Amino acid sequence: MRILIVEDDEILGNGLTVGLEMNGFTADLATCCGDADAALRSGGFDAVVLDVMLPDGSGHELLATVRGRGDATPVLLLTALDTVADRVEGLDGGADDHLGKPFDLDEVAARLRALVRRGANRPTAYLEWDGVRLDPARMLATRGGEDVRLSRREFKLLHALMERPGTILSKAQLEEKLYGFQEGVESNAVEVHIHNLRAKFDRSVVETVRGVGYRLREASR
């Protein structure tokens, strides 16, 4: 899951980025409304963590702009102003959830997973496909009840494919899920992770569609 964090406090923003990465997310950081708006226009984010007080405007104003152009990306609003009136303003302004500062990082991660799950109309906290189960909260993969050890990026890649089984995802789309703006991407990184997934499950688990991308093969019956 790729998350945009909009936070101008350097320590808090970096802490959120590192913490969410450790929880299995790919996180990008924007420190002002202008950069956040440009990032959202480029697309590819599953959810947004949005601070209310920013140097070039308010999170409420940015949220109004985003919703005004029809962008329905789930938004978790963070604010030090945590009165009922503040929560009502944020939720009525288009936010999907609200969390006051200070907050617990595990709760932020859990709320983001819930927002993405609701956005995908998925009732359970885990994903299942052909005997494979992914538990994003615990970064755990199992097959037939047996644990399968995956690296963080292998887990992210399989998660991206299992969110849209049967859908072909291009190499560029998978790179977006695996790497943030600030991270360098080696030219064969996706291919290496695909190779490792096939070794840990079986070679047919991920199908290559030449010239287009990758998808999960059709589940066995």
Residue range 149-168: mean pLDDT, rounded: 89
Burial label for 187, CB within 10 Å (0-12, 13-18, 19+), is exposed
Residue 41 contacts by C-beta under 8 Å, 6 or more apart in sequence? none
Q: Are the C-beta atoms of 83 and 71 separated by less than 8 Å?
A: no
Residue range 148-158: mean pLDDT, rounded: 91
The band of 219, judged by pLDDT with boundaries at 50, 70 and 90, is low
Q: Which amino acid type is present at position 20?
A: L
Give, in order, the Cα–Cα distances in Å from 22 to each of 14, 116, 137. 12, 18, 11
Q: Can you say how many angstroms the Cα of residue 109 is from the centroid of all Cα atoms in its chain?
A: 10
Q: Are the C-beta atoms of 39 and 63 separated by less than 8 Å?
A: no
Q: What is the pLDDT of residues 53-95, one digit of tens each?
A: 999 999 999 999 999 999 999 999 998 877 788 888 888 889 9
Q: What is the pLDDT of residues 14-55, one digit of tens each?
A: 999 999 998 889 999 999 999 999 999 988 899 999 999 999
Residue 214 contacts by C-beta under 8 Å, 6 or more apart in sequence? 161, 168, 169, 171, 174, 190, 194, 206, 207, 208
Residue 27 contacts by C-beta under 8 Å, 6 or more apart in sequence? 2, 3, 4, 5, 16, 17, 20, 21, 180
pLDDT confidence of residue 184: 63
pLDDT confidence of residue 49: 97
Q: What is the pLDDT of residues 179-203, one digit of tens each?
A: 876 666 677 888 999 999 999 887 7
Question: Looking at per-residue confidence, does 143 or 6 come out higher?
Answer: 6
Question: Does the pLDDT of residue 155 top 80, yes or no?
Answer: yes
For the chain, state the CA radius of gyration: 18
The band of 178, judged by pLDDT with boundaries at 50, 70 and 90, is confident
Nearest-angstrom CA–CA distance, 159 and 176: 13
Cα dihedral 162, 218, 215, 5, rounded to 10, equals: -10
